[in-house]
Chains A and B, each alone.
Chain A
Amino acid sequence: MTEHDDHAHDAEHGHGSMKLYLSVFGALVVCTGISFAVGSSPMMEGELAWMGQAFMIAISCVKSLLVMLVFMHLVWEANWKYVLTIPASLMSVFLLCMLMPDVMLRTRRYAEERWRYAAEEEYPAAILSSESAGNAVEKTDAADSDTDGESDHATDSETNTGD
């Protein structure tokens, strides 16, 4: 039967060898190790943290490509693979790009005064070194018994006299 031959023919070429799978697994573990090493390195705490982050995302993309191409057998599949995977991935990236300017970059151009009323820890160095702590305090109204920790709304609605 021709179908059986076709099937056998595909079975020969539709998958990889054990050796290939094992070496891909080894490569994945090595990539994880590299990613971990970069992520734990002192670079991540300095100014160049973004470089480490970009590098780790790149490594993750490499790992995911390895899994998708070899483990999920996409190298041996026909062109439909592009139709399904590329639009979904593009949409994911577009989603991220659309959200970035709104939320992610909102603190980029904050004025000094704005920083004081943003959701921040009580004394970053900027406030501590400047004038006395009294100026940086927001006055709270009559305390409600609500012990909700998110007091940002309180901060924003109070206007401080100090500058």
Chain B
Amino acid sequence: MSAHDAHHDAHHDDHHGHIQLEYQPALPINNGKVILWLFLSTEIMFFAGLIGTYIVLRFGVPTGSWPAPHDVHLKEVIGGLNTTVLLFSSATIVFALEFARQDKAAQAKKFMFITLVLGLAFLGIKMYEYNSKFNHGIFPNKPHSLIYEKPDLYYLQAVKLRLADLDGGGTTEPAVAEGGSPATPPATTEGDAGAVDSADNASTAADAAEDNASAPTREAAATASAGTSEPPPLTDDQKLCQWPEYAAVHLQDKRGISALAQLIYPLEDNWGNVVQYVQDLNNKPPELNADGQRILNEWLELEVVERMERYWVTRNTDADVEQEFGGINEDDHAKMLPIMIPSGNMWASTYFLLTGFHALHVLVGLIVFAILMLPHMTLDSSRADMIENTGLYWHFVDLVWIFLFPLLYLF
């Protein structure tokens, strides 16, 4: 803050006499602080772009389709805890600055250390949050992301492919001779079954691949191959995919796929719809042939469908339902079947973008704190400027989180 002297005066004209010009700094603060504030204003614009994007995208989805926090394993309490941790660290860094200005170096270092620990706690809690998303297949991008936006045939395909992978192609029994539709696993009939307009061929091929005990397929198996062993019975998972596909192909009813999606990964708002659908199937069964009826019966008898219905009834009649129905992905965690969350990928992208960039900024702050922790750093008044600038950066990081918390967790 010392006034610089007159040698900035370039015109040392002797015949004008000595003109002493005094250097007036443009701002009454040191250069480091100026630069840091300029940097912070660019950071304001940076995060304004990201947060503005989030706001616009989040409100631009069709009404009601943004996932509820429960659907994406977002807990508001954890966000509130993070906010409190960061606010506390903001306070402690101000204390550190105050002690440094008063030349109490030991106290300053102590509070700086507390700030560092709190910042690490923030990152730790964030890692815990990210972990709970990753565990349920919620990633910001393919190939890891399991999220599908709509319960359509693409989703059904994905589920069946995943089940086929899990089975290890178990439906292809070596005893069946070469060629012939019974030998093909459900995966390769996807392409046929997906096309609605190639109805008959596809349906018989699909049925042949999936049914095991019915007479028509026995015939098909017998005519197509010379193998004597029958295809293995369908697992429950394969039965789960049977009805939605049948409904989609033959009845052009997509609600079956939506019901399947709900059984795999229940969403808060869909319960009533799905239970209604199951009850409709029981009370007002669609007109089906024998095959269709058998497929439907098998589907309705599945334990997971029953449990869902039972849970819904209990949920509506008994206030304290303890055990929630978590869906197939919850009970059978390793399966990691594709899940359907409307606007789920948009949610994942914006959430991980915002919190990821914020976490990176927190990390940079923590690195600076670590530097200040080095043994040769005495945090007295000579270091006060550095501590002040660090504090300004850290407070900005806190500011961003103050806006992110309601926007991401409470909206």
Which of chain B's residues have a CB closer than 8 A to the CB of A36? 76, 80, 410
Shortest beta-carbon distance from B252 to chain A in Å: 5
Q: How many A-B residue pairs have CB under 8 A?
A: 219
B157→A143 contact, CB < 8 A: yes
CB contacts (< 8 Å) of B56 on chain A: these are: 96, 99-100, 102-104
On whether the beta carbons of A139 and B197 are closer than 8 Å, the reply is yes
Query: Is the Cβ of A72 less than 8 Å from the Cβ of B98?
Result: no
The complex places the Cα of A143 from the Cα of B156 at a distance, in Å, of 12
Knowing A67-B90, A104-B59, A151-B152, say if A124 contacts B64 (CB, 8 Å): yes
What is the size, in residues, of chain A's interface with B at 8 Å between Cβ atoms?
78
**Is B147 within 8 A of A149, CB to CB?**
yes
Given contacts A60-B406, A64-B403, contact A21 B62 (CB under 8 A): no
Interface residues of A in 35-71 (CB under 8 A from B): 35-36, 38-40, 44, 53, 56-57, 59-60, 63-64, 67-68, 71
Could you tell me if B63 and A21 are in contact, using CB atoms closer than 8 angstroms? Answer: no
Q: Is B409 an interface residue (CB 8 A)?
A: yes
Closest-CB distance, A96 to chain B (whole angstroms): 5
Cross-chain contact A148 with B154 (CB below 8 angstroms):
yes
State in angstroms the CA–CA spacing of A57 and B52 once bound together: 13
B191 at the interface (CB under 8 A from A): yes
Contact B161 A147 (CB under 8 A): yes
**A95: Cβ under 8 A from any B Cβ:** yes
**In the complex, which residues of chain B have a beta carbon less than 8 angstroms from the beta carbon of A63?**
402
B345 to chain A, nearest CB (A): 7
- By the criterion CB–CB under 8 Å, are A140 and B76 in contact? no
The one of A7, A84, A119 in contact with B62, judged by C-beta atoms closer than 8 angstroms, is A119
Which residues from chain B contact A111 at a C-beta distance below 8 Å? none
Within 8 A of A (CB), among B224-258: 248, 251-255, 257-258
Complex CA distance for A139 and B198, rounded to whole angstroms: 12
Contact between A149 and B149 (Cβ–Cβ < 8 Å)?
yes
* Known A-B contacts A18-B98, A25-B91, A68-B395; A39 and B76 likewise in contact (beta carbons under 8 Å): yes
- Assembly CA distance A143 to B158 (angstroms): 12
B44-A123 in contact (CB<8A): no
Report the Cα distance A152→B65, complex, angstroms: 15
A80:B27 contact, CB within 8 angstroms: yes
Contact with A along B39-77 (1 / 0, CB 8 A): 011101100110011011101111111000000000010
B361 CB–A CB distance under 8 Å: no
- Answer whether residue B327 sits at the interface, using C-beta atoms and an 8 A cutoff: no
Q: How far is the CA of A15 from the CA of B101 in the complex (A)?
A: 10
Contact of A39 with B410 in the complex, beta carbons under 8 Å = yes
Among B88, B98, B150, B152, which residue has the most Cβ atoms of chain A within 10 A? B150
Contact B402 A122, beta carbon cutoff 8 Å = no
Contact of A32 with B157 in the complex, beta carbons under 8 Å: no
Q: Which residues of B contact A128 (CB under 8 A)?
A: 255, 273, 276
Assess A137 versus B402: contact at CB under 8 Å? Given A104-B55, A142-B195, A143-B157. Answer: no
A112 at interface, CB cutoff 8 A: no
For A103, what are the chain B residues with a Cβ–Cβ distance below 8 Å? 56-57, 60
Pull 19 A–B residue pairs with CB atoms less than 8 Å apart, ordered by A. A3-B3, A6-B1, A21-B91, A21-B94, A22-B91, A60-B402, A68-B399, A84-B38, A88-B42, A92-B45, A106-B60, A119-B342, A120-B150, A123-B258, A137-B248, A142-B195, A145-B191, A149-B154, A150-B149
- Which residues of A are at the interface with B, using a C-beta cutoff of 8 A? 3, 6-7, 11, 15, 18, 21-22, 24-25, 28-29, 32, 35-36, 38-40, 44, 53, 56-57, 59-60, 63-64, 67-68, 71-73, 77-78, 80, 84-85, 87-89, 91-92, 95-96, 99-100, 102-107, 110, 115, 118-124, 128, 133-134, 136-143, 145, 147-152
Where the two chains meet, the residues of B that have a C-beta atom closer than 8 Å to any C-beta of A are 1-3, 27-29, 37-38, 40-42, 44-45, 48-49, 52-53, 55-57, 59-65, 76, 80, 83-84, 87-88, 90-91, 94-95, 97-98, 101, 142, 147-155, 157-158, 161, 190-191, 193-198, 248, 251-255, 257-258, 270, 273, 276, 338, 342-343, 345, 388, 391-392, 395-396, 398-399, 402-403, 405-406, 409-411
Closest 7 CB pairs of A and B: A143-B194, A39-B410, A92-B48, A149-B148, A121-B342, A103-B60, A88-B41
